[in-house]
Amino acid sequence: MASQLKITVICDNRKYDRQLEIAWGFACLIQGLEKTILFDTGPDHRLLVNNMAKLAIDANTIDTVFLSHLHRDHTGGLDSFLQKNSDVEVYVPQSFPKRLKDEPRAYGAKVVEVTEPLNICEDAYSTGQVGKFIKEQSLVIRTDEGLVIVAGCAHAGIIKVAKVAGVLHTVNGLLTGKILLAMGGFHLEWATKSAIRKIISALERSGVGFVAPCHCTGEKALGLFKEHFGNNCLSIGAGKTVSLDDLRQSADS
């Protein structure tokens, strides 16, 4: 079970490693699974590959590209990545425009269109397409400490994503229901304080261990999450690494 899980933020709105460039968008690298996964690709051609180079991430070590949803700030770097490595499987929501499916195919990549929850490799699942208007998939990883959810923008709401992750666990019967970590854009820039507080208490009721809101979460929500979860709210920015080992250690302390 993903005991060596490590997530490295390549692109985010905020900076963690001073050397890295930042922009409105999200991308992270997920290591320690059967397959190495690039989750989203940031907003543009340059930023993804530049930050990958600064983080000494070799594109050829990546097996799978997982695109959460069609927004440019998550798909903009795809082309530049495929120029470096097209020997990958690209998981996209089935609702993607044809252009975004044809592009990776033209590079020779294998495109997997996702509708329903789906197993990607050992211990890693897509939630399937979630949401009415913006259809988005999130990644759910099984660890022996609980589930790790990675969301791009969580346009349908992080609670909805967490619920689907909970359904995933009953579908395959193997995932534990407890959510260890919910990470990614929570899309709460325009949410009211009381709406944000409701989300925080729902997450808390679900027994979530750690939260790592970033990207489009918004300053107001970031502040409230930090206030509520304290050290269990991880500060995320480009260059930050979150590993299962770190989470275990901070849970012990």
Q: Where are the alpha helices (DSSP H) in the chain?
A: 45-54, 72-75, 78-84, 98-106, 158-172, 193-205, 219-229, 244-252
Tokens describing residue 48: 């993804």
7: enclosing H helix or E strand? strand 6-11
DSSP 8-state assignment for residue 56: T
Min dist. Cβ of residue 76 to Zn ion (A)? 10
155 or 240: whose CB is closer to Zn ion? Answer: 155
- Rounded to a whole number of angstroms, the minimum distance from the CB of residue 137 to Zn ion is 12
Nearer to Zn ion, 153 or 181 (CB): 153
List helix spans (H) across 2-135.
45-54, 72-75, 78-84, 98-106
Contact 32, 244 (CB under 8 A): yes
Q: Which of 10, 80, 5, 72 is nearest to 35 (CA)?
A: 5
| Nearest approach, Cβ of residue 68 and Zn ion (Å) | 8
Shortest spacing between CB 185 and Zn ion, in angstroms: 5
Round to the nearest angstrom and report the end-to-end CA distance of the chain. Answer: 23
Nearer to Zn ion (CB atom), residue 12 or residue 123: 12
Residue 95, token pair as written in the block = 């609702």
Distance of CA 119 to the CA centre of its chain: 16
**12 or 73: CB nearest Zn ion:** 73
Beta carbon nearer to Zn ion, 71 or 135:
71
Q: How far is the CB of 51 from Zn ion (least distance, A)?
A: 16
Sites of contact with Zn ion (CB under 5 A): 71, 73, 153, 216
Residue number, 71 or 240, with CB nearest to Zn ion: 71
Taking the complex as a whole, the smallest distance from the CB of residue 71 to Zn ion amounts, in Å, to: 4
- Select from 153, 207, 141, 159 the least CA-distant residue to 7: 141
In the bound state, the residue with its beta carbon closest to Zn ion is 153
